[in-house]
Chains A and B, each alone.
Chain A
Amino acid sequence: MTTRIKKQKATGDLFKAVQEKADVNLSVCYQCKKCSIGCPVADQTESPPSEIIRRLQLGAGDELLQTDLIWTCLGCETCYARCPNQINFPAVIDALKSIALEKGVARPEGDAPLFNQLFLKFPTMLKKGKIAILPPSGGDKGKVKRIFKKTAQNRGTGK
């Protein structure tokens, strides 16, 4: 599918925000498209990885936060592993995901009915001993609590 991209006068705010959040340099992308060729869900998305980078370079705005790859991405990291310029594209997706959520424009697609369907398989899986109801405990809950508290405090402070 072809997406028409309107070129903006200046690089967009989104470009800067994504670069900062994902800690990547998107200017080094020269559109070799190895990422899109290796992407297992490229055929099911509006814009494959290389096109998302191009759209960011050309000053894409919030319309890019509606792009479906954000929610289709499998996090398989094939794009990153094959990028000749080591652009961490999964981090770009994570950044777009979190910006979309922050701005309240996220349109995640999900299938609650399918989740329920899987849930219906639980009796068989339980019977076969494939799953247990509860994970084992015994870990230091206080320590985990501290980690959550501290990282939440430090979020956004650069620490």
Chain B
Amino acid sequence: MKYAYYPGCSAHSTARDMHESCLAVAKALDIELNEIKGWTCCGASAAHQTDRNLAVSLASANFLLAKEMGMDMVVNCAACYNRSKVANYEIKNSEEVKQSVADSLGEIYDGSVPVRHFVEILLKDVGPARLRKKIINPLKDLKVAAYYGCYLVRPPEATNFDDPENPTILESLIDVTGGTSVEWSGKVDCCGGMQNLTRTEITVRRSAAVIEMAKAAGAECIVVACPMCQISLDVRQADMEKLLGKKYDMPIIYLTQLLGLALGLSPKELGLNKLMVSPAAILKKAKAAIS
């Protein structure tokens, strides 16, 4: 299994734990991730709010590099995944956008490079049967809330990830680790991440609402696949506690970190020491400790 891997900016900054755990899990499962040489920004946030053609052109520059490698492009960051999928969709559906992109890149790109999230690779290419064989440390009795947020599932016609209102890819993978997914209605709600630096209170209240829902459903941790959700729910938890006068203690971990623990990888190589809210409760179940 060989893929062109697009890490995205957050992989080297606020989501190093996501990146590290992804690489560790890929290695353990013999998935070959070849980092795209010379990758640049996917065009998220500032670009797509300012100029659609700029955002699509930025994403396409990476597609052209992946195309040369002749492999599917694998993305871990949900925002990069979203922007790349939307770019492909817009190029395929608008001759005008396609022309504009060709003009700014000096090369024609037809929107044909497949973009996939790493969790899709785990479930669809590796598959539950093969994954189960590699589990040496099942996370028995761990109650997990699978949280998707916005970028993976919306807009559905472009991302085409899973059922946009009730996706189950993460639950299927949690099942493989031996954990139990709780039933809850917050899985595609927004964490408010977009206002994290500009109108922080909106983010703090929104993320607190998500954590409260997961808690009410009996979850001991929330599993995410998006670095923006992880930051909002994890780093902002101290602010939630201050603003709302409640204690949450809800570990927010990446799916690759959870799976890595079940695969017997060490907490350190999975970047679990980088979490703001201690994952001690999960580690206890996994019989692992942060050294």
A74 within 8 A of B: yes
Give the shortest distance, in Å, between A120 (CB) and chain B (any CB): 11
Some 22 contacts from A to B, beta carbons below 8 A apart, are A41-B192, A72-B195, A74-B202, A94-B49, A111-B199, A114-B200, A125-B14, A128-B273, A128-B276, A129-B16, A132-B12, A135-B9, A135-B13, A136-B12, A138-B38, A139-B39, A140-B38, A140-B61, A144-B41, A151-B53, A155-B51, A159-B99
Give the shortest distance, in Å, between B226 (CB) and chain A (any CB): 12
Q: Are A143 and B40 in contact (CB under 8 A)?
A: yes
B57 within 8 A of A: yes
Q: Are B103 and A150 in contact (CB under 8 A)?
A: yes
Interface residues on B, range: 35 or more
Contact of B199 among A71, A138, A144, A158 (CB under 8 A): A71
A129 to B268 Cα, complex, angstroms: 11
A148 to B55 Cα, complex, angstroms: 10
Give the shortest distance, in Å, between B94 (CB) and chain A (any CB): 9
B273: chain A residues at CB < 8 Å are 128-129
Contact residues, B250-276 vs A (CB, 8 A):
271, 273-276
A135 to B53 Cα, complex, angstroms: 24
Q: Size of chain A's interface in residues, with CB distance under 8 A? A: 49
Q: Contacts A71-B199, A144-B58: A131 and B14 contacting too (C-beta < 8 A)?
A: yes
A88 to B235 Cα, complex, angstroms: 31
A140 to B58 Cα, complex, angstroms: 12
Q: Are B103 and A159 in contact (CB under 8 A)?
A: yes
Give the shortest distance, in Å, between B83 (CB) and chain A (any CB): 12
A40: chain B residues at CB < 8 Å are 189-190, 192, 206
Q: Are B14 and A130 in contact (CB under 8 A)?
A: yes
How many interface contacts (CB-CB < 8 Å) are there between A and B? 139
Q: What string of 1s and 0s marks CB contacts (under 8 Å) between B170-203 and chain A?
A: 0000000000000000001110111111111110
Q: What string of 1s and 0s marks CB contacts (under 8 Å) between B35-70 and chain A?
A: 001111100000001110110011001000000000
Give the shortest distance, in Å, between B178 (CB) and chain A (any CB): 28
Q: What string of 1s and 0s marks CB contacts (under 8 Å) between A115-153 and chain B?
A: 101100100110011111001101110011011101110
Identify the closest chain B residue to A40 (Cβ). Answer: B190
A114 to B205 Cα, complex, angstroms: 14
A155 to B12 Cα, complex, angstroms: 32
A152 to B99 Cα, complex, angstroms: 15
B206: chain A residues at CB < 8 Å are 40-41, 74
Q: Are A147 and B104 in contact (CB under 8 A)?
A: yes
A72: chain B residues at CB < 8 Å are 195, 199, 202
From B164, B202, B271, name the one whose CB has the most chain A CB atoms within 10 angstroms: B202
Give the shortest distance, in Å, between B163 (CB) and chain A (any CB): 11
Residues of A within 8 A of B (CB): 40-41, 44, 71-78, 80-81, 88, 94, 97-98, 109-111, 114-115, 117-118, 121, 124-125, 128-132, 135-136, 138-140, 143-144, 146-148, 150-152, 154-155, 158-159
A114 to B206 Cα, complex, angstroms: 16
Give the shortest distance, in Å, between B114 (CB) and chain A (any CB): 22
Give the shortest distance, in Å, between B75 (CB) and chain A (any CB): 16
A143 to B64 Cα, complex, angstroms: 12
B17 within 8 A of A: yes
B106 within 8 A of A: yes
A142 to B234 Cα, complex, angstroms: 37
Q: Are B235 and A121 in contact (CB under 8 A)?
A: yes
Give the shortest distance, in Å, between A54 (CB) and chain B (any CB): 23
